[in-house]
Amino acid sequence: MTGDSADTGRRCETLEAWTRKRFPAKKVAYRWSGQDFDSKDSLAFIGRNPKDRRKNLFIATGNSWNGITYGAIVGMLLSDMILGKENEWTRLYYPSRRMVKQSSISYPERSPKPQKLGLQGALQMAERLSKGQGMVFEIRGKGSMAFYRSEKGSLRSFSASCTHEGCTVTWNGSEGSFDCSCHGSRFSYRGKVVSSPANDDLKTVA
Ligand code: FES
């Protein structure tokens, strides 16, 4: 899961063990992780784009982990709207509806907070990084910093502040990326943005 650095590898192993018990799997060809977009009330956004003055743009997003079910609902609802038929779900899924937070839903835990250290302590820890590994620290009085040791051995350092809205990214060791659990932005080990909503790379720190 994006931003869930501590658990991604373990979750893949659990999934693999579950699969091996039930299927004659031999080799795992690929592993990957993704993210689901969830609304505050856990219902999707389906309907006319509220900002579209010409009223001919429709949107369907925020499937809240239920994309297969919502795929059918979207087909039924949007086709009715396009054909000008009444549909009782229109208000329920309206993209600009007033949302009430669902308190009964348990969301996955956010990533653990990065270790807090002085600058020297963080640099010493970063020096010990193995090749292909990254780390994030909260540096007292200086904000957060991300480090990555390249396969060739050089140490790169970045600001760990996500360029979207400033949350702290975490190192995802399974995929070799810096991930932001706030809204799902991802950055490569070089600090390059690979997944929005962030548009800019992590700032390099000399
Ligand atoms: S603050 Fe990082 S994705 Fe929004």
C-alpha dihedral sign at 40, 41, 46, 52: negative
- How far is it, in rounded angstroms, from Cα 205 to Cα 104? 42
Q: What is the pLDDT of residue 143?
A: 87
Atom of ligand 1 nearest to the CA of 166: 1
pLDDT tens, residue by residue, 116-144: 878 888 888 888 888 999 999 888 887 89
- The domains located in the chain, with CATH, are 45-93 (no CATH), 115-195 (2.102.10.10)
Ligand 1 and 202: CB distance under 6 A: no
169 lines ligand 1 (CB under 6 A): no
Whether ligand 1 lies within 6 angstroms of the CB of 198 is answered as yes
pLDDT of amino acid 57: 94
pLDDT < 50 stretches in the chain? 107-109
pLDDT of residue 10: 81
What pLDDT was estimated at residue 6? 56
Residue where the block lists tokens 């480090």 = 147
Whether cis (ω within 30° of 0) applies to the bond prior to 95 is no
What pLDDT is recorded for position 33? 73
Strands of the chain (E only): list them.
Answer: 45-48, 58-61, 115-117, 134-139, 143-149, 155-159, 170-172, 177-179, 186-188, 193-195
Q: What is the mean pLDDT of the chain?
A: 86
Sequence-ordered alpha helix ranges (H) in 89-199: 90-93, 119-127
